[in-house]
Amino acid sequence: MDTHRIYEFRYQPELAETVIYWSLTFVLFFLSMIGLMEEQGFINMFSLTTFLLFLFFTILGTRRKIILTRDQIKVNAILKRNRYTINLSDIKNILVGKFGLTLITPNGKYSYLMLKKSKNKLKSCLELEHQFTGKINEEKKGVDN
């Protein structure tokens, strides 16, 4: 891996959190459409406000990313207080599932849902990194082991 290169990967948190977040986000969309239909096609303030909230939470939900540097993995969540950093030397094991991967460290397990292309790219970048001393295990199950 190029020592000056920083890699970014999009992710979603574990399955339960992802389903809850996106369900509540689309409730806003449906509420805006219901409000629009109540006024028979005229745009009212309720519909406009809920649709703008839907767009806001959609943009926030797609901004989650994992940043891989030479010696760390930085996980950017929606809220700044939920952001954290994992040193590559602290990762003991990586379980690669069908829909994502799980990092196992002394501090706990961190599961991420990722697209296949992003998951494979992250895995190959970690294999080439000298700071990473853990093992990578392919799993036949999903991300939630």
Tell me the whole-structure pTM to 2 decimals.
0.79
pLDDT of residue 143: 54
pLDDT, position 37: 84
Please check the confidence at residue 68 and state whether its pLDDT lies above 90: yes
Contact 103, 74 (CB under 8 A): no
Q: Which two structure tokens, joined as six digits, stand for 87?
A: 């040193």
Query: If 0-12 CB within 10 Å is exposed, 13-18 middle and 19+ buried, where does residue 73 land?
Result: buried
What is the model's pLDDT at position 109? 93
Region class of 110: left (phi > 0), else alpha (psi between -120 and 50), else beta: beta
User: What does the pLDDT read at residue 140?
Assistant: 60
The listed range with the strongest mean pLDDT (52-56, 125-129, 140-144) is 52-56
CA distance 44 to 47: 6
Average per-residue pLDDT in the chain? 88
Q: How confident is the model at residue 80, as a pLDDT?
A: 87
Q: State yes or no: pLDDT of 29 exceeds 90.
A: yes
Alpha helices in 2-143 (DSSP H): 15-38, 45-61, 116-128
Asked if residue 144 has pLDDT above 90, the reply is no
By percentage, how much of the chain surpasses pLDDT 90?
Answer: 55
Tokens 């939630």 found at: 144
CA dist., res. 32 & res. 36, Å (int): 6
Band (pLDDT 50/70/90 cuts) for residue 14 is confident
Give the pLDDT band of residue 133 (cuts 50, 70, 90).
confident
- Please give the average per-residue pLDDT across 63-85, as a whole number: 91
